Amino acid sequence: MKAVILAGGFGTRLSEVTNLLPKPMVEIGGKPILWHIMKTYSHYGINDFIICCGYKQYIIKEYFANYFCHNCDMTVNLSDNSTEILDNHSENWRVTMIDTGLHTMTGSRIKRIQKYIGNERFLLTYGDGVSDINIADVIVQHENNGAILTLTAYMPTGKFGALDIDKTSNRVRSFQEKPKGDGNWVNAGYFVCEPEVFEYIPDGQDFISFEKEPLEQIAKNGGMFAYKHTGFWRPMDVLKDNRDLNELWDKGEAPWKVW
């Protein structure tokens, strides 16, 4: 089974670093967040990846083109330009990187890699969020439901602390730091998709948002199910998110490090 990762957007909310790098290449603990996402899939035996590239795609392509060299011990004999690999520390990954366009929206990017999927089930996620999600459990639930598409649902915490205040005396009865938000579940990505998903995305268009017409129509037709994830999930939307994720990694407290 292949895992498709959307990695072509401009990442404008993280412009402090994405003016130089595509967002999936912004680092956590010295490795791109894209690498962290791929390590999660690899932990569950998914080692065949399709990366939907766009903005500054050459950086992603150069990273993986040189990955083996950068992750092995080697001897280079300058007298005859021969190379001997002493020890290989690379992952057992197959990485296909496809130019899906500079301004293309998510649905259209997915449609453009259809020929590399064929008539097979595939996994799909965004290139900017990490989680301790159990990929194997999501797949099992997907199969049991007979779904066309299963998405991971997550209930985020509130942005601010919550106060329980007595209406009469104004005494604060309890304080809770960042409780659950408004009770709504949000789309956290980490999809499992049947090939029928492609039928919901029209050909030859650049501006089809996967989160609009395709997902809305699949849900309307009864083919979408949610896997409710109650563990850790964090998108890297702004610079503070990047700092927080790096802090967790540096402390050895990164919940998404399941490998």
Class of domain 2-155+184-250: alpha beta
In three-state secondary structure terms, 151 is strand
28 and 242 Cβ atoms separated by less than 8 Å:
yes
The two three-digit tokens of residue 7, written as one number: 């990695």
The 10 Å CB-count burial string (b at 16+, else e) for 90-128 is ebebebebbebbeebbbbbbbbbbbeebeeebbbbbbbb
Q: How far is CA 128 from CA 9, 30, 238, in A?
A: 10, 15, 11
Each residue's pLDDT, cut to its tens digit, for the chain (259 residues) gives 999 999 999 999 999 999 999 999 999 999 999 999 999 999 999 999 999 999 999 999 999 999 999 999 999 999 999 999 999 999 999 999 999 999 999 999 999 999 999 999 999 999 999 999 999 999 999 999 999 999 999 988 766 565 676 778 767 666 666 666 667 889 999 999 999 999 999 999 999 999 999 999 999 999 999 999 999 999 999 999 999 999 999 999 999 999 9
pTM, rounded to two decimals? 0.92
Residue ranges per structural domain of the chain: 2-155+184-250
